[in-house]
Structure 1
Amino acid sequence: MLQRPDLRFLLLPLPEFALLPFGGFLDKLRFSADDEDYSRQRYCTWTILGLQPGHVSSSSGAALRVEATPQELTLAEHDYLVLFGGRNAQATAALAPAYRGLLRRAVRAGVKLVAIDNASFLLAACGLLDGHQVAVHWRHQAEFRASFAHLRLAHERLYSIDSERISCAGGTAAIDLAVELLARGSGRARALKGLADMLVDETRSGQHALRSLHGTSSGERHVDRAIALMRHGLASADGIEQLAASVGISRRQLDRLFRARQGMSAREYWNELRLQHVRWRLLNSSHSLAQIADEIGASDASHLGKLFRQRFGVAPGAFRRQGGMPS
């Protein structure tokens, strides 16, 4: 007699999905699915889903074969529908008309929705994150906040499990999320199985603070904490005095630490961070300059255009048409 699996996953890679979170999440399922390392789907199962038969291309160009379409399976027989987001957040959100029907049917069938990486933009565009807290990659938080101001961001979170909606910032955090979901449905021991094979020392909670964003010495911690606050507050009207107070030191101390480590004052670094965000958004979205100006707190598109030309020596429109240039 076949054993009923503890958990049943539908994995839905969106166009230009990132391979890293997809591979990490799937391999964690594989290690936990069997008593040995035979890749048998005993304790958990997974199916790679697609709207159409064929293949889905990742952001690196590698293609993944679709195993089933929604018409070929019963949604209610699955526990989680896991979406893996595309490289371009705006393009991912624009997929809403194509995916809205499937996602709403999944919700009605009692399937939990999991958004990894930029898939949160798709769920938000479909109106399926209203009332829920959302974990978004730090690089895309300003863009998400500008597009969906009514939604609550889970700041500095690797993932957020909020009732029937689950979100993950992406990258290797997908492994940590997979462990947590497996632990809840199949037990902690089975969830941890295979981590050594994956060369993962330990799992991280959703609240884990990345060491790459937070230094080790007190000075590094102050600077990295300030940089984290700057990233979260690209559009903030707060000055450096308020920022220094939030970090717990004086403005003079903060500027001294920034000059020693970054070669510029805290204000100069914050301005550079904003302009680098604009540069990235021009290359990775089709949002207007006015919309991007709102994301960094610039007064208007004209003012932002002037700042951009001063920094990069080219107008934003020309920069976008040329496909970028060295920073």
Structure 2
Amino acid sequence: MAECPDLRFLLLPLPEFALLPFGGFIDKLRFSADDEDYSRQRYCAWTILGLQPGHVLSSSGAALRIEATPDELTLADYDYLVLFGGRNAQATAALAPAYQPLLRRAARAGVKLVAIDNASFLLAACGLLDGHRVAVHWRHEAEFRASFAHVRLARERLYCLDGARISCAGGAAAIDLAVELLAQGSGRARALKGLADMLVDETRSGQHALRSLQMASSGERHVDRAIALMRHGLASADGIEQLAASVGISRRQLDRLFHASQGMSAREYWNELRLQHVRWRLLNSSHSLAQLADEIGVSDASHLGKLFRQRFGVAPGTFRRQGGVL
């Protein structure tokens, strides 16, 4: 019997945290924490932390009970403080004044800070990612870059381990990160324990490339790669010629493939991606139209407003005030 756990985790779900990464992460800990499936915290242990006692609501409305507050425990007794981000990245970053004292105390105590999903916005707003690389969900890369241009993004990564700062894009990648942390502290065999019970075939490295991010239903390799480049270059000044060259075909070939699989030219598809990004950001951030214009490489807010009205039939400000009702 283990006398004390190999690893101890503080789990800190932020308001409106996503259940998927939280559930995947804690269940992976549970399977690795004991022999068989007894769910005892023998080889690793965890405590659900909150600034105040009570419950914290997830993005789906489900409530999670807080087990301890910072004053009830000794931070130095823990190896990792794992933050699970809220639904809205800017609202999560705005929590910095409330959470910064705790996070800085934990860092001084030698606790490694782990940001899952939009929790990276909170760490960055607290100045705790300076000099570190961070993995961010692909949907939020442009938003993160606009807010924290001095913090280096680890692009196309599911998770990134950078010393005492660890980040994860969220979703099911939280399981992969849990496996990696457990492997480092308890060995690979114990880290992999229970994956079959979770119906997970295999774990993915931080560099794993998501096939689902390619989005093309035709399975056409060139279109897949072009769409991936478009997503990561919403603000790029490159034209379709450069994009086609990066894919390894001519512009005419690329347009023909896009018309066949997407019903539009490559340029039209790229412009649509940009405007759909702005549409999503208007509903899920408080950034100004000028900032959103920078994110997609449009010259100014006035021009973006014109493009948005042409596409969606409503001004961006009206769209935001109406909550997306067209």
Superimposed CA distance per residue, residues 103-123 of structure 1 (whole angstroms, 9 cap, x where no aligned partner): 110010000000000000000
- Rounded Cα–Cα distance in structure 1 between residues aligned with 2:216 and 2:123: 37
Partner of 2:60: 60
Offset at residue 214 of structure 1 (A): 3.8
- Equivalent residue runs for 1:1-327 within 5 Å: 3-214=3-214, 220-325=220-325
Offset at residue 213 of structure 1 (A): 2.2
Offset at residue 131 of structure 1 (A): 1.0
Greater alpha carbon shift after TM alignment, 238-247 vs 137-146: 238-247
- Rounded Cα–Cα distance in structure 1 between residues aligned with 2:132 and 2:286: 27
Offset at residue 174 of structure 1 (A): 0.2
- Rounded Cα–Cα distance in structure 1 between residues aligned with 2:269 and 2:142: 17
Q: For the structure 1 residues 28 and 20, does the alpha-carbon distance in structure 2 shift closer, same or farther, using more than 3 Å as the test?
A: same
Greater alpha carbon shift after TM alignment, 148-157 vs 12-21: 148-157
Superimposed CA distance per residue, residues 26-83 of structure 1 (whole angstroms, 9 cap, x where no aligned partner): 0000000001211100000000000000000000000100000000000000000000
Offset at residue 321 of structure 1 (A): 1.0
Unaligned runs of 5+ in 2: none
- Rounded Cα–Cα distance in structure 2 between residues aligned with 1:296 and 1:134: 21
- Aligned residues of 2:2 and 2:43 also touching (Cα < 8 A): no
Offset at residue 317 of structure 1 (A): 0.8
Superimposed CA distance per residue, residues 226-265 of structure 1 (whole angstroms, 9 cap, x where no aligned partner): 1111111111111111111112222112111111111111
Superimposed CA distance per residue, residues 209-235 of structure 1 (whole angstroms, 9 cap, x where no aligned partner): 112124799962221221111111111
Superimposed CA distance per residue, residues 269-311 of structure 1 (whole angstroms, 9 cap, x where no aligned partner): 0100000001001111111111111111111111000000000
- Aligned residues of 1:219 and 1:257 also touching (Cα < 8 A): no
- Rounded Cα–Cα distance in structure 2 between residues aligned with 1:190 and 1:71: 32
- Rounded Cα–Cα distance in structure 1 between residues aligned with 2:137 and 2:266: 23
- Aligned residues of 1:215 and 1:221 also touching (Cα < 8 A): no
Q: Secondary structure at the match of 2:213?
A: coil
- Rounded Cα–Cα distance in structure 1 between residues aligned with 2:61 and 2:140: 22
Q: For the structure 1 residues 278 and 71, does the alpha-carbon distance in structure 2 shift closer, same or farther, using more than 3 Å as the test?
A: same
- Aligned residues of 1:80 and 1:111 also touching (Cα < 8 A): yes
Offset at residue 193 of structure 1 (A): 0.3
Superimposed CA distance per residue, residues 98-141 of structure 1 (whole angstroms, 9 cap, x where no aligned partner): 11110110010000000000000000111111111110000000
Q: Secondary structure at the match of 1:197?
A: coil
Q: How many residues align?
A: 325
- Rounded Cα–Cα distance in structure 1 between residues aligned with 2:59 and 2:217: 37
Q: For the structure 1 residues 319 and 215, does the alpha-carbon distance in structure 2 shift closer, same or farther, using more than 3 Å as the test?
A: closer
- Rounded Cα–Cα distance in structure 1 between residues aligned with 2:152 and 2:221: 26
- Rounded Cα–Cα distance in structure 2 between residues aligned with 1:187 and 1:219: 38
- Aligned residues of 2:217 and 2:261 also touching (Cα < 8 A): no
**Deviation >2 Å, runs of 4+:** 213-221
- Aligned residues of 2:33 and 2:42 also touching (Cα < 8 A): yes
Q: Secondary structure at the match of 2:212?
A: coil
Q: Secondary structure at the match of 1:83?
A: strand
Q: Secondary structure at the match of 1:157?
A: coil
Normalised TM-score (structure 2): 0.97
Q: Secondary structure at the match of 1:51?
A: coil
Greater alpha carbon shift after TM alignment, 86-95 vs 230-239: 230-239
- Aligned residues of 2:294 and 2:300 also touching (Cα < 8 A): yes
- Aligned residues of 1:82 and 1:116 also touching (Cα < 8 A): yes
Q: For the structure 1 residues 216 and 202, does the alpha-carbon distance in structure 2 shift closer, same or farther, using more than 3 Å as the test?
A: farther
Q: For the structure 1 residues 63 and 129, does the alpha-carbon distance in structure 2 shift closer, same or farther, using more than 3 Å as the test?
A: same
- Rounded Cα–Cα distance in structure 1 between residues aligned with 2:316 and 2:213: 29
Q: Secondary structure at the match of 1:56?
A: strand
Superimposed CA distance per residue, residues 145-189 of structure 1 (whole angstroms, 9 cap, x where no aligned partner): 111111111111100001111000000000000000000000000
